Amino acid sequence: MIQPHGGQLVNRYVPEEKKRDYLEKAKTLPQVVLDDKNISDLEMIASGAMSPLKGFMTQEDYRSVVSDMHLSGGLAWSLPITLAVDQAAVDRISGSEEVALTDSTGRILAILTLQEVFTYDKKLEAEKVFRTTDEKHPGVAYVYQQGEYLLGGPILMLQRPEHKDFLPYRRDPAETRAIFAERGWETVVAFQTRNPIHRAHEYLQKCALEIVDGLMIHPLVGRTKADDIPAEVRMRSYEILLEKYYPKDRVLLSVFPAAMRYAGPREAIFHAIVRKNYGCTHIIIGRDHAGVGSYYGTYDAQHIFKEFRPEELEITPLFFEHAFYCTVCGNMASSKTCPHDASAHVFLSGTKVREMLSRGELPPKEFTRPEVAELLVKAMK
């Protein structure tokens, strides 16, 4: 099985028998309240999904990642994983070597060993990570509104976030790896998504299934934009598709607890590294992966892989052209396989589909399976 990034799967959970003592200790520490994005990052650090990270980045790693997409030790890493706070929080924790990290209700989640408190250049981070300083970009807007200081250091997770949704599908990397081993899957392709799966996605996944042992559909269920389709609706659409149109013994549906950054190319690299930690050997990288608006070129998320040596990432990206249904071919195709004019291609933008659904109209069966279309119409109502 493919090795975790950096060679070892990180586990930052406090053993059950020590949890009570750590919780009592945490109650005596100054507290920092985390938002939903911070909590997603915390959970992924603790579970090993972000191996080799053991906590929030210190200044040396942060600057190295922002400037050239590598940790200070030279390992490939494309996104800063940080915990930002304001001046009031810095004053509150001043002089303390440890900090309790809580959710918005005050429930203690983890202890951070505070190695560094440092300032940073928000505009530079935006330029490097998102390729824009436009505050209309959701990722840039988040960076601009967060605190002026970053806290760096390793964490110990005392209690998991209180999830009430998708419980059968919430699996840590150690669990997905065990499932792959049990099923005898030596090669596994990951599919990252924050949208319902339409026929083009299905086509890409099934093309990939022709060359690997298994497929992990890994929808992101952390923070997304307000106008993205809710995770509970998307999850139901995946269940419908897997029940009716996929081989049950070759597909695993599991949720990805990350928050979206909408960082396009850099986030594609991050998604690949993290799926490697979950045990995947391949990842599908299609059109405008992790993009938003018109900030990135159609295939920029594929081109960025050329900036890394294959042995730096190890996981194999599968690059796909934009897929569509061709009325002349009578099947799904792409520009690589279809010789016909665009007038024969059935393609609907996300905006167009949302407009149709809001009017109660079903998208054509060439675009999406009818069962999924019916579900989405009901959800829009």
Nearest of 5, 3, 2 to residue 270 by alpha carbon: 5
Chain length of the chain: 381
Assign 3-class secondary structure to 256-292.
ECCCCCCCCHHHHHHHHHHHHHCCCCEEEECCCCCCC
Catalytic annotation present for 331: no
Name the H helices within the chain. Answer: 19-26, 36-47, 59-68, 87-93, 122-125, 138-145, 173-183, 199-209, 231-245, 265-277, 300-303, 310-313, 350-358, 370-380
Nearest of 87, 85, 79, 35 to residue 61 by alpha carbon: 79
What is the spatial distance between Cα 358 and Cα 83, in angstroms, rounded to a whole number?
38
- 148 with 93: CB under 8 angstroms? no
What is the spatial distance between Cα 279 and Cα 100, in angstroms, rounded to a whole number?
31
Given the structure tokens 């392709």, which residue do they identify? 189
Residues 6+ apart with CB under 8 A from 138: 225, 260, 262, 292
> Choosing from 170, 195, 250, 354, which is the catalytic residue?
195
Give the SS3 label for residue 112: strand
Given the structure tokens 């026929």, which residue do they identify? 199
Measure CA of the first residue to CA of the last residue in the chain; give whole Å.
Answer: 45
Single-letter amino acid, residue 233: V
Task: Please report which helix (H) or strand (E) contains residue 334, including its range.
Answer: strand 331-334
Residues tagged active-site: 194-195
